[in-house]
Amino acid sequence: MSLLQTGDCHAFEAGGQRFVYLAPSAAVLAVDDVSAAVLDAVAVQARSADDIRADLLSGGRFAAGDIDESLAELVRVRALNRVDTPVRPPRKVVPLTPVPLSTMVLNVTNQCNLSCTYCYEYGEDKIVQTENGKQPKMMSEDTARESVEFLLRESGPDAHMTFFGGETLLNFKVLKTTVAYAKRRAAEVGKTIDFSMTTNATLLSAEVIDFLTEHRFGVTISMDGPPDLQNKFRVFHGGAGSYDVIAPKIKALIKQHRSRPIGARVTLTKETLDVRRIYDHLTNEIGFWEVGFAPVTASPDRPHAFGDEGFENVLGEFRDLAKDYLAAALENRHHGFSNVRETIGEIHKGASKAWPCGAGFGLLGVSTAGDVALCHRFAGSDDHKLGTVRDGIDRAAQHAFLDAHHVSDKTDCQKCWARPVCAGGCYHEAHTRFGTTNRPNLHYCDWIRGWTDTCLQIYGQIAQRNPAFLQQFEDTHEAPQAS
Ligand code: SF4
Ligand code: SF4
């Protein structure tokens, strides 16, 4: 008789209720006592069904029929797996027909007026070479218009345009003319278009704030927290910190631009890891609606890069702040820790990713010269080019990329219960760490699994105690974001 072992799932507990997260379907199931006992029975070692049944019957808590039913159901959903049955890898389905483009990220400049020590655009981790003159410092109005036409050709009925840099506002001139052109052309072809941008906030003038307000821009501001943390890495070329310059400008923007929430994006490093203090400052002192944190992308030999211990510390800090999110959610209060919101949103929608993000299909980056790339972080890199805004997407290159990066080809990920939300992780992180986008980011699996487990627990508690809170994640399509 074949032995049964824990299957392709992750068991967890939330608020006294047992659950399993099923990797093949990305479903979260509440399990009853008998199923929980069956799962416990195989937690340490594989056992036969007869052995499990005898064990559970001897305790006198469960009837034979219930145990058999539970065994059959757990095998069916693959929470239990027969030892002699190989784990099936996720099915590989690569779309042959073009996937509509949802978000185009326009790198309107590759120049910046700050020189943040950890920035991937500069220093030794840089991918894109601008010295040979192939990538102009600023995108021209012509290229921006061609990019608009490209987006409107490739998108479905709703198009999202994100402006990025370098420092995006160094090319405010092109931003203004492009938005006017895009609105007119979108109306002519019967599509909707909306705009967002990422900025370091140094160039937020009254004119810029009026413009962002008028055109209902989604704004994300790169900011690392209170003065001592912001000024550690986010400095001007002469070395002066940027906090005093940006803080009043951001407050002015938040005061005036009320139609869309303004968010902060924090880059965490080994030396600036103080999540709660950063969060409190950015929400209470500055007034951001949401704050998202991302560990720095850097080669492991950089002094600010995270090693194993660093990721564990990030997880500890995240878990601490996530408790506040849960408390707020149970009382229907807003909490702006966006990392939790994004992950529980994916869990609630049953997201099961074949690729880690939309890069290369739903999201594309455009370089200052008009080259189309996987995403904004690869824009201008010849090795990651998928066409141009003039000539369109190179479908053969796009298909080859999606085929080569499907989660079913990542051996370690095939067996990992967190693959529905991770699928191997960011290509840019992998390229920086390993020199290739093909490798899964195995250096941070513990962190990803630990964080997903935390979010599953939060999700489980909300689902039991305040399920109405989860309605906000239903029927909403979030366009892929530039990160
Ligand atoms: S990179 Fe690691 S955590 Fe992510 S799916 Fe692959 S094995 Fe799992
Ligand atoms: S997760 Fe990485 S590869 Fe994907 S869009 Fe973001 S930066 Fe690009």
Average pLDDT, the chain: 93
**Ligand of minimum distance to the alpha carbon of 427:** 2
Considering the domain architecture, whether residues 113 and 159 belong to the same structural domain is answered as: yes
Considering the domain architecture, whether residues 313 and 346 belong to the same structural domain is answered as: yes
Considering the domain architecture, whether residues 58 and 105 belong to the same structural domain is answered as: no
Considering the domain architecture, whether residues 52 and 150 belong to the same structural domain is answered as: no
- The answer, yes or no, to whether residue 329 has pLDDT greater than 90, is yes
Closest C-alpha residue for ligand 2 atom 2: 426
Considering the domain architecture, whether residues 238 and 192 belong to the same structural domain is answered as: yes
User: Does residue 426 lie within any of the structural domains?
Assistant: no
Considering the domain architecture, whether residues 186 and 290 belong to the same structural domain is answered as: yes
User: Does residue 107 lie within any of the structural domains?
Assistant: yes
Atom of ligand 2 at shortest distance to CA of 427? 3
Atom of ligand 2 at shortest distance to CA of 376? 8
Considering the domain architecture, whether residues 147 and 270 belong to the same structural domain is answered as: yes
Considering the domain architecture, whether residues 126 and 14 belong to the same structural domain is answered as: no
As for ligand 1, residues whose beta carbon falls within 6 Å of it are 410, 412-413, 416, 418-419, 422-425, 440-442, 445, 448-449
| pLDDT in the model for residue 92 | 84
Choosing from 82, 116, 132, the residue where a domain stops is 82
Considering the domain architecture, whether residues 225 and 356 belong to the same structural domain is answered as: yes
The one-character DSSP state at 160 is E
- The answer, yes or no, to whether residue 129 has pLDDT greater than 90, is no
In terms of Cα–Cα distance, which of 41, 28, 45 is closest to 67? 41
User: Does residue 354 lie within any of the structural domains?
Assistant: yes
| pLDDT in the model for residue 483 | 66
| pLDDT in the model for residue 300 | 75
In percent, the amount of the chain with pLDDT more than 70 equals 95
Q: Is residue 173 classed exposed, middle or buried when 0-12, 13-18 and 19+ CB atoms within 10 A define those classes?
A: exposed
Contacts of 316 (CB under 8 A, 6+ apart): none
Q: Which of 29-33, 120-124, 328-332 has the lowest mean pLDDT?
A: 120-124
As for ligand 2, residues whose beta carbon falls within 6 Å of it are 357, 359, 363, 375, 377, 426-428, 483
User: Tokens representing 258?
Assistant: 């009320």
pLDDT, average across residues 307-320: 88
Cα(407)–Cα(414) distance, rounded to whole angstroms? 7
Task: Find the CATH number of the domain harbouring 21.
Answer: 3.90.930
User: Does residue 10 lie within any of the structural domains?
Assistant: yes
| pLDDT in the model for residue 125 | 56
Cα(54)–Cα(113) distance, rounded to whole angstroms? 71
Range of the domain at 13: 3-82
Contacts of 74 (CB under 8 A, 6+ apart): 7, 35, 38, 39, 80
Phi then psi dihedrals of residue 231, to 5 deg: -80, -5
Question: Whole-model pTM?
Answer: 0.93
Residue 203 pLDDT class (50, 70, 90 cuts): very high
pLDDT, average across residues 130-136: 68
| Per-residue pLDDT tens over the stretch 401-429 | 999 999 999 999 999 999 999 999 999 99
| pLDDT in the model for residue 479 | 65
- The answer, yes or no, to whether residue 295 has pLDDT greater than 70, is yes
Atom of ligand 1 at shortest distance to CA of 423? 5
User: Does residue 253 lie within any of the structural domains?
Assistant: yes
- The answer, yes or no, to whether residue 477 has pLDDT greater than 70, is no
- Can you tell me which residue has the tokens 């660093």? 310
| Per-residue pLDDT tens over the stretch 259-280 | 999 999 999 998 889 999 999 9
Ligand 2 center–CA 198 separation, angstroms: 15
Task: Find the CATH number of the domain harbouring 296.
Answer: 3.20.20.70
Considering the domain architecture, whether residues 13 and 131 belong to the same structural domain is answered as: no
Residue 471 pLDDT class (50, 70, 90 cuts): very high
Ligand 1 center–CA 328 separation, angstroms: 30
User: Does residue 23 lie within any of the structural domains?
Assistant: yes
Choosing from 398, 426, 445, the residue where a domain stops is 398
Q: Which of 172-186, 299-313, 315-329 has the lowest mean pLDDT?
A: 299-313
More confident residue, 468 or 474: 468
Considering the domain architecture, whether residues 262 and 394 belong to the same structural domain is answered as: yes
Q: What is the domain count for the chain? A: 2
User: Does residue 451 lie within any of the structural domains?
Assistant: no
Choosing from 371, 398, 425, the residue where a domain stops is 398
User: Does residue 344 lie within any of the structural domains?
Assistant: yes
Q: Which of 102, 357, 383, 432 to mutate to test the pocket of ligand 2 (most atoms within 8 A of CB)?
A: 357
Considering the domain architecture, whether residues 66 and 200 belong to the same structural domain is answered as: no
| pLDDT in the model for residue 98 | 75
